[in-house]
Amino acid sequence: MKKFFNNMKISTQMTLSFCILLITICVVFYFILPNLLNYPPDTINTQFDKEVSVLYYCFQFLIAFLFILILFIIYFKIKLTKIDRWEKDKPTDQKSILEIRKLCLSFPYKLYIILEIFPVVIVSLVLQLTGSHPLILIFKIGILVFSFSTLLSSFFLIISKNLLYPILKETSDLLSIKEQKYNLGLTAKLIFQIFPSILVTALLIALIGYSRLTVDKGDFLNTYYKKVLSDAHLEVNMKGDPLEYIKSNLASSYISSSDFLFIEYPDGTVYTTNGTELSHFFVKYMHELSPSHNNRVYEAYTIDAQGVIDTFEYNGQTYTVGFYYEIVSPTLIYYFLLSSGLLFLFNLVILFYITKSVTSDIQKVTDGLNQIIQSGDKLNYSKLPIVSNDELGALAISFNNIQDLTKSNIEQLHNSQETLMESERLASLGQLIGGIAHNLKTPIMSISGALEGLSNLIKEYDDSIDDPEVNSQDHHDIAKDMSDWIFKIKTYTEYMSDIITAVKGQAVTLSEADSVHFSLDELVKRVNILMKHELKNAIIYLNISMKTDEHTKINGDINSLVQVINNMISNSIQAYNGQTNKNIELILETKNNNVLIHVKDYASGMPKKVQEKLFKEMITTKGKNGTGLGLYMSYSTIKAHFNGNITFESELGKGTTFTIILPL
């Protein structure tokens, strides 16, 4: 059964749950309403009920129930169609995800408010249209309907949130944390869920107490006035004329100024001592039902007034004499409702401050966690004070323990990162040793050749001294040749110096790395020097495209950046899987106050499973030839040392482009 329910669409689950809950609440309400409002006996679902109310009580109730049910089924169909469509199609665009998430978050609370208002309106309209009900009836029933609607709203709020939870969880996984906004505070949520229980409990207790009070007082007044009429009956038998005696002697028997005496004459006319006209309901009940209830007469629904009657025989005709008495006056009802309203407001204020106090303690933990997030790898250590020995105190203790653990993990992460980076530098240096020998061999041999040529010129110049055939122009030519050789030696030594500088930069430890300003030209020069040998061995060509000013300055650790770029170029070389005469593009440009460094190859691209792990796990795309740094560490390096970012685009069979984004 549960599996069958879970396989239904969300709208179907929601509608079915609502119907079951509404039917349950309505069944309870159907039986409890007449008792709480002290409906007169024998007036519910009888011919009497139909004659005074147009429709039977059950039909009135059924009409109101069906109106409410149909209205909300239509509302569910309209509001939840988007959720059903989303469940079916599962669109992944951000707009659709945000829209469906907003609907799921707001729907339970919007429905909560609608459930409180519309049932009261519908029931009031049904009562007004299906019979001549007094306003006091509509008002009292409206209060009861509101309380039960609030109870229904509270239950369904929990049910709807549980039903929508899988969608909220699924959409949460598809969005970043910044995109997930929460507008309704915990204080409001607690009030939404706690206050209905307080409201319904208070209303029911008040109504039960009010109902019992009216019953007891009604019994007392009935007994009293019945005794008065009984005594009058004995007196009348002795005096003779009952009407004159009743009118002149029973007026002093009134307990309340609103009570009065009435006499119904044989022709049906009614005389009252204060001129008040008896209601149709009262007279009809007096004629038809009071004999079954020991001559006790009840006023219309929810009007807390009754009567007691007796009959007198005079001149061969029957007269009905009775007392009409109010059990609860309208003024008392007014003050009762006013005091109840003030009490509810008072409870609402108290509840607000209680929930505010609870949420304030939770907010402190939230703020502390946000502080940890914003501090990055430099934890701003601040313990929360333990001010209670309850769950909130346990939460504060857990938060402090998390801070201790986070601090320890950050320190351990720093140590591990330094070790990994140092290992990578040493591994890279090992790979560069062969290239260093090759890179230095050429300029050394060139310098050696230049020195030999310079030595020959010196010998030639020495032999030309005192030679009468050597003129001044010959001396200038020899000097020029010597100057050319010296310039070549200088060029070769500068090249060797660049090689040594680049290699030294990769050999230093992380602790020795320093953040300085360096130019794009200097960056490219180091990359070119260090990757020259590996590119040459693989017969791969690195095409450098400088689409911005080569003197553009970047602040950071140049050695770390060189290592990241070299790692990407090595990945691209390995991506060609031994193919030769292929190209790798190194493109530098500026955009939106950022320097963009693109490393692009035209190899086979990366499969989806590799793309999903990039920047998340320590993986290498170079197989056994990988150095171990991985794009995860490259990503961490760019984030930590440059406050930048790395993105990528890859397509199977077409190649991969990595982009390093560095803020200027």
Q: Which residues contact 232 (CB under 8 A, 6 or more apart)?
A: 242, 245, 246, 249, 250, 310, 321
DSSP 33-93: HHHHTTPPTT-SSSHHHHHHHSS-HHHHHHHHHHHHHHHHHHHHHHHHHHHHHHHHH---S
**Pair 323, 379 in one domain:** no
* Same domain assignment for residues 232 and 150: no
**Pairing between β-strand 270-272 and β-strand 260-264 as defined by DSSP bridges:** antiparallel
Nearest to 576 by CA among 550, 631, 537, 530: 537
What pLDDT, on the 0 to 100 scale, is given for residue 23? 92
User: CA-to-CA distance for 531 and 514, rounded, in angstroms?
Assistant: 22
User: Is residue 447, in this structure, part of any structural domain at all?
Assistant: no
- Return the CATH number at 284: 3.30.450
Contact 322, 308 (CB under 8 A): yes
Specify if 460 maps to a domain: no
- Residue 511: band (very low, low, confident or very high) from pLDDT cuts 50, 70, 90: very low
Residues near 125 by Cβ (< 8 Å), separated by ≥ 6? Answer: none
**Are residues 354 and 237 part of one domain?**
no
Comparing C-alpha atoms, which of 480, 493, 473 is closest to residue 454?
480
Query: Over the stretch 62-100, which tens digit does the pLDDT of each residue have?
Result: 988 998 999 988 888 888 888 888 777 777 777 778 888
Tell me if 644 is assigned to some domain: yes
Q: What is the pLDDT of residue 284?
A: 93
341 and 328 in a single domain? The answer is no
**Cα 562 from Cα 437, distance rounded (Å):** 20
Q: How far is residue 11 from each of residues 16, 170, 423, measured CA to CA in Å?
A: 8, 17, 57
Q: At 183, is the secondary structure helix, strand, or coil?
A: coil
Mean pLDDT of 624-636: 62
C-alpha span between 9 and 17 (Å, rounded): 12
In this predicted structure, the answer to whether residue 627 has a pLDDT above a threshold of 50 is: no
Q: Is 426 exposed, middle or buried (0-12, 13-18, 19+ CB in 10 A)?
A: middle
Q: What are phi and psi of 145, to 5 degrees?
A: -60, -40
55 and 42 in a single domain? The answer is yes
Say if residue 512's pLDDT is above 50. Answer: no
| Cα–Cα distance measured from residue 427 to residue 443, given in angstroms and rounded to the nearest whole number | 25
Q: Residue 588 has what pLDDT?
A: 93
314 and 364 share one domain: no
User: pLDDT class for 661, splitting at 50, 70, 90?
Assistant: very high
Same domain, residue pair 127 and 14: yes
Residues pairing with 297 in the sheet: 307
pLDDT of 297: 95
- Is 533 part of a structural domain of the chain? yes
Q: Are 556 and 573 in contact (CB under 8 A)?
A: no
Residue at a domain's end among 332, 352, 379: 332
Question: Among the three residues 281, 315, 332, which one is the final residue of a domain in this structure?
Answer: 332
Can you tell me whether residue 220 is helix, strand or coil?
helix
Residues 247, 344 within the same domain: no
Residue 453 belongs to some domain of the structure: no
Residue 425 lies in a domain: no
Residues 351, 323 share a domain: no
Please count the structural domains in the chain. Answer: 4
What SS3 state is found at 289? coil
Determine which of 228-232, 236-240, 402-406 has the lowest per-residue pLDDT on average: 236-240
**pLDDT category, 589, cuts 50, 70, 90?**
very high
pLDDT band with cut points at 50, 70 and 90 for residue 509: very low
598 band by pLDDT with thresholds 50, 70 and 90? very high
For 439-455, the DSSP string reads: HHHHHHHHHHHHHHHHH
The pLDDT of residue 8 is above 50: yes
Cβ neighbours of 588 (radius 10 Å): 21
Query: Mapping DSSP to helix (H, G, I), strand (E, B) and coil, where does residue 381 land?
Result: coil
- Do residue 390 and residue 527 come from a single domain? no
Place of tokens 């006499």: 263
What pLDDT sits at residue 141? 80
Any domain includes 46: yes
DSSP of 482-503, one letter per residue?
HHHHHHHHHHHHHHHHHHHHHH
Same domain membership, residue 178 and residue 93: yes
User: What's the pLDDT score for residue 430?
Assistant: 60
Neighbours of 97 (CB within 10 A): 19
Quick one: average pLDDT of 203-222?
84
Both 609 and 565 in one domain: the answer is: yes
Span 522-549, pLDDT tens digits? 888 888 877 887 888 888 999 999 999 8
C-alpha to C-alpha distance for 535 and 573, rounded to whole angstroms: 8
Can you give the pLDDT at residue 134? 62
pLDDT at 360: 74
Q: For residue 203, what are its two tokens?
A: 């209303």
Q: Is the dihedral of CA 227, 229, 233, 234 positive or negative?
A: positive
State mean pLDDT over 612-620. 64
The stretch 267-278 carries a mean pLDDT of: 89
Count CB-CB contacts under 10 A for residue 558: 22
The last residue of one of the domains, among 332, 363, 390, is 332
**Which of 83 and 190 is assigned the larger pLDDT?**
83
Longest dimension (CA), the chain: 184
Residue 658 lies in a domain: yes
- Span 105-115, mean pLDDT? 84
Summarised one tens digit per residue, pLDDT across range 466-496 is 777 767 777 777 778 778 778 777 777 776 7
Q: Which of 44-53, 86-95, 297-306, 426-435 has the lowest mean pLDDT?
A: 426-435
pLDDT at 658: 92
- Which of 132 and 446 is assigned the larger pLDDT? 446
Amino acid at position 95, single letter: K
Output the six-digit token pair for 352: 């607000």
Domain boundaries, position 147 = 2-184
Mean pLDDT of 428-453: 66
- Alpha-carbon span 35 to 90, nearest angstrom: 51
